[in-house]
Structure 1
Amino acid sequence: MKAQRAVGLNLSWPRLTVVFLIDVAVLVLARHWPGSARTATYAWWVGVGIAVLVLIVAVVTYRRTPLASAAAARVLDRFVDPQATLAAGRSPGLDHRRRFGQDPVGIREHQGQLVSVIAVTGRPDRRVGRHGQPGAATVPVGPVAAALRQFDVRLEGIDIVSVGVPVAVDTGFGEEPRSVDQRHTWLVLRMDPQHNVAAVAARDSVASTLAAATERLAAEIDGAQCAARPVTAAEIADVDVAVLAGLQPEHIRPRRRRLKHKQPEGDKEFVTSFWVSPSDITSETLDQLWDSDTTATVVTVRLIPRRGGTEVSAWVRYHSSGRLRKEVWAGLNRLTGRQLVAVSASLPAPAVRSPLVVPGRDLREDEDLAVPLSPAPPPRVEVGART
């Protein structure tokens, strides 16, 4: 993995237009500053300095964040309410059973936006190789991306959220237990009814439209590698708890580079989020993001429709008892000033606009991208085998 350049430029037309207008106003004010000729000269050069400073803090970025935004975020972090931020959109869900559906589908609504969730688990009896060794189960990204457009239904996005907690596993033969991640994975489907007026009109209701899309995607990916099923409204609340990975909002102290979480027992925990460089979003990289030395790991892969195709982006969150070793996040990009919104963006909560936007890339139609559901079990060793 390779991190993006730390320092860059944001030269978008809206930003440049605003900076130009501010600089012109500053220079006009400095040019007409009252007083003697000497005072006017001082005022002019002070105005030039202010105009240059405005230009620098507005267009120069650090880790894709403008310096002005980073400074504002650092100040606002002192006044942000973690409880309100993490509770936004987490309204109680409702179970909807379609007329021709099999099971109820839990749907959460907030400000006109809808969310449903699919639980995905790996098949325990999957074997790979000529000797039938157990292999790591994965969920293919291609079919999930195709579900963004289902006939007349258009989804705003689908998040693949995986939560892993390390557990000790006995490998046998007198060896020390090794630590592996016990993972749980969900697909979070997001829909805006305003973009699906025709689809809603052809069905019973708005909820029925999203429920049909959810059941169709679950049936599509349910197969030899993984099992998938829509979750109920009560289970969506359980997903909230799992994705928070032990975080209690009332005990969070936001910082620019990380979150500090003081547990009720008195122990301190550090929570740090990073985004993955677009060129590094591969199956191998997504597997490397899991680190067994942390107390919890949360990986989010986001798929959104873009220009007739699909854009994929990813970010990861690490929970640790101390500050992360550099080896863990080498090649990743720190979400400076956006640590709290990175947590809320992974929750199955509807939102008019996503609280977090990270750089992504176009997903190729023939790309074999897959998200790991579980680590590969240790190789099976046969007693008495010839060496």
Structure 2
Amino acid sequence: MKGEQGKTRTDAETEAIKQQRYQESLAVLGVYALEQDDLKAIMHRAVQQTCMNLEVESTVIAQLNSKQDTLKVAAETGCECKSLKINNDSKWDLSYALQSRKPVHVIDYAEESRFAISPILKHRDFKSSILVAIRGAEDTYGVFGSYTIEKRSFLESELNFIQMAANIVGMAIERKQAQKRLEKTNAQLREEMKRSRQYQKDILKNNIIERWELGGYLHDNLGQTLASAKIIIHDIENKLRQNDTGIADQIVTLNSIIDKGIEGIRNLTHDIIPVDIEKEGVEYAFHFLMRQTQKLYDINCVLKMNKIVTQIKNRKMATHLYHVVQEAIKNAVMHGEAENISVIVRKSDDNLMLQVTDDGSGISNKQQTNGKGLRIMKHRMDLLGGTFSMEDFSGEKAAGARVTITLPLEKLRGDEETETD
């Protein structure tokens, strides 16, 4: 009797020592997983510690590839099967355990009726195993399993150990995937910032060109007009002193010169500041653009709008829309050699839709992918939270290109602080 009690006490003490060793080992593995960034190293440490603590011949981590629906050995010890993979089929023990919510305990594969040992492990003639799914907070990532050559039952403390080891690996996998997603997001953000800087350079370059054109206009047209007016005024002064009767004719000429100067300034300011919401409104600005286009390029322009344009109360947004139409028209004329252009502004569901259609030569791949004007138009719509597209157009009577932009109606009265270039 005393012998049996002594034996029971010894077994209990041995089990307590094992549990303490298990806890210490898991703590070390957990700290290592937190400090280590190399997922392969974490997995390798996990299978080594499991083999040592549970005194098994082999431990395997099979990672799930959800796209290919396969299980591939990512880490192992004692089976020489690393990098081998199988189809995720529940007739194999690894796949069965992947779908199970509880640890899968096999005492003897020869008597197992639920599944067979996975082909990648058959060469070692394993008899027993304990398998648990590797899970994170959001997904299932694979299977953690230990195998023995001799038949064996696993104690509850051993089941708990392998479950905790699998949980540590699952958290490490989840953290690594989160890092990859973050790196991908950061890369996309850097690329977007790079594109944004390029757009800004393109816009700045366009602004410089426009400034040169503005300087040329001021020097060659407005400057000469004012110089002519000054000469006439000087001549009028002389004639006033001499009581010359030809003053009236010169005044008429002077008025005509001044009118031309005023018209030139008006045309120029509409190119620079195209939309004055308070005084003229968006509708007037688009009509003015059509008239200017017809005069400048000698082509036919048609404008169709409904009352939706009256809802555009944001000056910066209206200016962006104006410049997009202006750029689309310039592309149609300069690159597509269009002779007819139509601009349609209408409501489509909960959006404002603006389309510029021409009968030119259509879109070349180079123009579509590398065209600076197209990039700038798209950038303007990105800033406004709208969409931009350009495509070849084929109608009953003509073919050409069509630019389509859409803006949610809720943005038409948006904050005046809408970002601009």
Tell me which interval the TM-score lies in, with the shorter structure as reference length. Answer: under 0.3
In terms of Rg, which structure is larger? Answer: 2
TM-score where L is the length of structure 1: 0.24
Q: Quick check: which one's helix share is greater?
A: 2
TM-score where L is the length of structure 2: 0.23
Kindly indicate whether structure 1 or structure 2 has the higher relative contact order, using CA contacts under 8 Å at least 6 residues apart.
1
